Structure 1
Amino acid sequence: MTDYAIGDIQGCYDRLRDVLAKVDFSPSRDRLWVAGDLINRGPASLETLRYIERLGDSAVVVLGNHDLHLLAVALGGHRPKRKDTLHDILEAPDHDRLIHWLRQQRLCVFDAERNLLMAHAGLPHIWSVEQAVTCAREVERVIRSEEAGDYFSQMYGNQPERWCDTLRGMDRWRVITNYFTRMRFIAGDGRLELATKEAADHSPAGFAPWFSYPRQDDVRVVFGHWAALEGNTGSDRFIGLDTGCVWGGALTMMNLDSGEKIHCDCG
């Protein structure tokens, strides 16, 4: 069995099948780790979602901001945005099953044997792996519960700016969600700067890329979300797999054992 991790697919179903064909991927033999943003902005969000869902236990999925946006539209009363490509999912006959499946997915996954954590936006330096997993499980329980509608109706927003153990309710859940699915630049005290989407060398004053801060462990982190990085973090520990497929870049997949990266040009 080979485990592969893949960056933001965002509904680019044909490119997904192309890159999987390059390694002769077989769900009976291999597993696909998906670093969030399965859907949206690309041309085939429904086909992509159905394919990953059909992989069953051969898929290890974390939720990205675009996946949460679909749930916010479906469950939280939000309207699709002008550039969204979610209509086919919302109108699909298997809509309810797909939404239910998406709600069961994680915000982060930790593989202790590999000492590897996967989260859509990354892992803030202010959290240990144990704390990150605990925070993720807390919000996952809300997403799966009868409180999900209220959570998704209030999910959007940049406040609170940073984590505090004393936070409760929606403020607590929102900042956890933002660390896992929207983070790029962060301050030393954990404050998030969520407006800037440029590359790592465009840090706003007082902030730096989340992966530039020292950690007290040697965990490796697989993430997506930050297309402007083009996969470059300057460290083998922090593995960026969003290489801008939906924007005409490439779809990138990595063999988690060998470290080999496989690319499919999306231009």
Structure 2
Amino acid sequence: MIRHAPNPRGRDFFVGDLHGEYDRLMAALEAVDFDVARDRLFPVGDLIDRGPRSRDCLGLALAPWCFAVRGNHEQLAREALFGDDDAMALWVINGGGWALEEDRASLAALLEAALARLPLAREIEVDGRRIGLVHAEPPADWADIERCDRHRLIWGRDRIRRGDTTPVRGIEAVVVGHTILEAPITLGNVHYLDTGAFATGRLTLVEARELLATGDATR
């Protein structure tokens, strides 16, 4: 896990699964006057696949103002590009077909560089409070983030399937994606932001202080 100190110079934003929707992200950032010199962006992972500009979205992982976590689609890409034909077939079935039109060596180099900046979890301090970030499902206690099931962090859906409103202990809020919803929801202190941009055209971008205020209102 990577911890981020407060951002005294600007704002922090969280965004749901991009899935190649680079243009939608740029439009959303422009709408909030995002300043790359001051503001920070924290994507929930699944930067790639299904949408039209996956390579550009993968490149965001290298931008100095962008701090994403790894999603299951980045993991599928890793297993495909550095694994075997079966892994490649699985990735293609799940939206990785765009990679077949790319130079494999070049794409593998970009992915390797991106993965080095895509941890499984991040923690961001905002106004003396902490927000956790994972792709799919956090542990019941944030203190276990370094030793919990890695598969659950990028693939898990148990909490949302149960509609579990039990807050994650040891942290004020957690932001996740992975499960497509009609609109963002909050269960306990877990905020679900994946609104299926590649299929619905709806990309959810939320400022950190707004997210914390939403969480306060649901208590």
TM-score range, shorter chain: 0.7 to 0.9
Cα distance in 2 between the residues matched to 1:224 and 1:212:
16
Cα distance in 1 between the residues matched to 2:186 and 2:61:
30
Shift in Å, 1:91: 1.8
Answer whether contact 1:6 1:241 (CA < 8 A) is retained. yes
Cα distance in 2 between the residues matched to 1:89 and 1:107:
28
Q: How does 1:1-267 map to 2 (within 5 A)?
A: 1-50=10-59, 52-56=60-64, 58-77=65-84, 78-79=87-88, 80-82=91-93, 83-87=95-99, 90-91=102-103, 94-104=106-116, 105-112=118-125, 113-125=128-140, 128-132=141-145, 134-135=146-147, 176-185=149-158, 200=160, 203=161, 208-209=162-163, 211-228=164-181, 230-235=183-188, 237-259=189-211
Shift in Å, 1:103: 2.1
Secondary structure in 2 matching 1:41: coil
Answer whether contact 2:61 2:67 (CA < 8 A) is retained. no
Shift in Å, 1:122: 2.5
Cα distance in 1 between the residues matched to 2:143 and 2:212:
28
Shift in Å, 1:234: 4.5
Backbone CA RMSD of aligned residues: 2.5
The runs of 4+ residues in structure 1 deviating greater than 4 Å are none
Shift in Å, 1:23: 1.1
Question: Structure 1 counterpart of 2:132, which letter?
Answer: L
Provide structure 1 residue ranges, at least 5 long, that are not aligned to the other structure: 136-162, 164-175, 187-199, 262-267
Question: Structure 1 counterpart of 2:183, which letter?
Answer: E
- 1:96-148: per-residue Cα shift (whole Å, max 9, x none)? 441222221210111254311000013132xx22221x23xxxxxxxxxxxxx
Answer whether contact 2:142 2:169 (CA < 8 A) is retained. no
Secondary structure in 2 matching 1:16: helix
- 1:182-221: per-residue Cα shift (whole Å, max 9, x none)? 11125xxxxxxxxxxxxx5xx4xxxx24x43354435310
Secondary structure in 2 matching 1:40: coil
Answer whether contact 1:11 1:39 (CA < 8 A) is retained. yes
Answer whether contact 2:122 2:132 (CA < 8 A) is retained. yes
Give the % identical residues. 26
Residues 1:103 and 1:223: Cα distance change in structure 2 (over 3 Å): same
Answer whether contact 2:167 2:187 (CA < 8 A) is retained. no
Shift in Å, 1:40: 0.5
TM-score, length of structure 1 as denominator length: 0.66
Answer whether contact 2:175 2:191 (CA < 8 A) is retained. yes
Question: Structure 2 counterpart of 1:219, which letter?
Answer: E
Shift in Å, 1:16: 1.0
